[in-house]
A and B are shown apart, each in its own frame.
Chain A
């Protein structure tokens, strides 16, 4: 990522890397779904459905193939007849309405038979290096039934109900990179279409959405026969794919400091580039105003019953009103219009509103921003290697740089270490528990880098500042992971969360939201402080309709004429 002659600096990690702000991030031009749809449209990908073999009970298989310039990828989908009592989003579920694998290429009959023996079992099955992801989805029973019944009766479903739920199926896990035998990311990361983060997973969900639309039509056709209505494409357009994301995803951003740094650093660089523009053309200002209005419409459809999100949504709605009033006063023709707008937002808006605005100001400037997407993967495997020649004094300095705030905290106080992250025997998934109420402390995962940094900092006190850190680590291997992170922070200033991840008040939702915002998710709907539902691809073109005109701004609903 090269300096772009920017003179408004990126925001500091101290400002950006707080959990409350990370938990207020919104999608933007750099989000992984939008990167994928832009690329597929630009490269003129073609899509086909070579197999759709689903019976009248809704059981069978289908294949959706996406053909890019050099390679093809196929979603292999299995539809099941799931008894209602088995329908659960939890990771402990063992049956689903539909299960999927993304196949690398075009599967043969033998591949499909092999996958049919394994994919429906999900974690209990095995896939191979021919597969790039494994996933499953459950129906929104209410909306599914409504749509099937309406179409079977020759009518269109009620748009209000579609807006309210947003999806016919939600994925409850999308496993990539080597999981359950799939190909490792390292095997495919040098392909341009896969190099950006999570492109495999985003493609899988994009194709899943087409399958779900086709399946609901099929089930309506079975029920309604010849008089069944065809789902109106303008209604289908608003159907996304839901996603339930649990606690298992939260540790990801702690465990991948280089990668997470790149996501945040790229967005910060994009914001800094736009803030540094000394003027905006009328056309650019107009794009921003349009996108703002469309974003406001999208927020008006955002529902949540969770008290934390309800409060955040209320603030966001006030923020939107304040932005609207600000835009009436400020016609964006003055000097540094975006910088002035952002500076104003920092005094006038909540973090939800500030971060929405930071995402929106990027929209008129694809030419300045989109190239940054190539810097979001982590290509520095060797940053893992510790530089033992570094002096103890330097290493302590790095820890102060990221964790100054944590060094004076009394880490023995219950409120500062009330929680512990552990892996459960049952499902081998990360969980978070109460250190002082459950027998979990001895199983604790290293997901409290601030506490660990504070301990390493103190342990180094008895070493001379001019000793090499290798000497310290020889005698204190328990601090190796911390020294490694501290050294990574030189290259990854946005790699460390500047908050306590085990405090009594930590909300894992903030970590989930930060990650999902980079996927491009919208309408976060927390179901507890540990899992959240979102919607993906609502408003996006379906594969057969993807064009360069509709590949990008689909995330913002069109305003009513």
Chain B
């Protein structure tokens, strides 16, 4: 079944929040998943896979310890920390490359690299171990298969986009990934009570007239 990108984005935001990330990261994760789907990649599956890892329970272990120097931590870097930081710090790419060590679900860095590319008005090359990806901010050239982990990430200005593919307008998530996202999203919903049914939406008078 196909979903609109807005549906994907809305669910991804709730799921990321439900998995324990901040609202700001949830907003960014959902736009990132949408961006990946627009590239024809499996944004829902990649995000669902990351959320299953539960990195949000120990955020300090999974985020870069400092902006300067290689980005690394005690545990695997979470792309929902390293990615937003990359987008925030795009300007650092003017003076050199940004390196990261041991990144979980590294494909999720790409939408943030795309933000940086648009901000710098320059293509960026993203190396995930031996895989080389290039984005101009709108599109991306990708190797097949996509890496699922990266012990070494290297991001620098420059690079040529190879094949141009058209952007997709729908998401085609696997049912099990969609179910995973729904399961995390469900944690953000308040259980219904009779009181909230009556008060919360403000009924109580007749609808018929």
User: Which residues of A are interface residues toward B (Cβ below 8 A)?
Assistant: 84, 87-92, 126, 128-129, 138, 140-142, 165, 177-187, 244, 246-248, 382, 384-389, 422-426, 428-429, 431-434, 438-440, 443, 446, 468-471, 473-474, 477-484, 508, 527-531
Contacts and interface: CB of A to CB of B under 8 A. Distances in A.
B166 interface: no
B190 interface: yes
B202 A528 contact: yes
Q: Which 8 A-B pairs have the closest CB atoms?
A: A480-B24, A530-B202, A388-B88, A178-B6, A431-B200, A178-B4, A481-B24, A426-B192
A529 B202 contact: yes
Nearest to B88: A388
Interface in B2-41: 2-7, 14, 21-25, 27-28, 31
Given A184-B5, A424-B190, A528-B202, A473 B208 contact: no
Contacts of A432: 200
B106 interface: no
A470 B86 CA distance: 9
Given A89-B207, A388-B88, A443 B23 contact: no
A137 to B, nearest CB: 12
9 contacts: A92-B197, A92-B201, A184-B6, A186-B5, A186-B169, A428-B189, A477-B81, A478-B24, A529-B202
Interface stretch (B59-67, B140-148, B154-162): B59-67
Contacts of B63: 474, 477
A500 to B, nearest CB: 19
A484 B199 CA distance: 32
Nearest to A390: B88
B158 to A, nearest CB: 21
B87 interface: yes
A426 B4 contact: no
B151 interface: no
A181 B200 contact: no
Contacts of A181: 2-4, 7
Contacts of A382: 115, 118-119
A386 B84 contact: yes
Contacts of B84: 386, 473, 477, 480
A528 B209 CA distance: 15
Given A126-B1, A470-B88, A531-B201, A425 B192 contact: yes
A178 B205 contact: no
A260 B85 CA distance: 28
B85 A141 contact: no
Question: Chain B interface: which size bin?
Answer: 35 or more
A433 B189 contact: no
A92 B196 CA distance: 12
B79 to A, nearest CB: 13
Interface string B81-100: 10011011111000000000
B67 A438 contact: no
Interface string B51-84: 0000000010001100100000000000001001
Contacts of A531: 201-203
A386 B87 contact: yes
Contacts of A182: 4
Contact of B189 (A423, A479, A484): A423
A179 B7 contact: yes
A160 B196 CA distance: 38
Nearest to A485: B24
Given A184-B169, A186-B5, A473-B84, A140 B209 contact: yes
Given A142-B209, A181-B7, A388-B88, A422 B190 contact: yes
A433 B200 contact: yes
B9 to A, nearest CB: 8
B64 to A, nearest CB: 7
A246 B22 CA distance: 28
A232 B196 CA distance: 45
B203 to A, nearest CB: 5
A384 B5 contact: no
B31 A384 contact: yes
A432 B192 CA distance: 12
A332 to B, nearest CB: 41
Nearest to B60: A475
User: Which interface residue of A138, A180, A182, A470 has the most chain B CB atoms within 10 A?
Assistant: A470
Contacts of A433: 190, 196, 199-200
Contacts of A424: 189-190, 192, 196-197, 200-201
Contacts of A481: 22-24, 27
Nearest to B200: A431
User: Which interface residue of B64, B87, B208 has the most chain A CB atoms within 10 A?
Assistant: B208
A88 B201 CA distance: 13
A128 B4 CA distance: 8
A425 to B, nearest CB: 4
Contact of A431 (B1, B2, B196): B196
Nearest to A90: B203
Nearest to A442: B190
B183 to A, nearest CB: 13
B130 interface: no
Contact of A484 (B1, B14, B24, B207): B24
Given A247-B200, A382-B118, A480-B24, A425 B190 contact: yes
Given A90-B201, A424-B200, A480-B22, 4 more contacts: A178-B6, A382-B119, A385-B115, A440-B190
Nearest to B85: A474
Nearest to A426: B192
A179 B7 CA distance: 6
Nearest to B10: A178
A122 B64 CA distance: 46
A505 to B, nearest CB: 16
Contacts of A473: 24, 84-85, 88
Contacts of A91: 201
B192 to A, nearest CB: 4
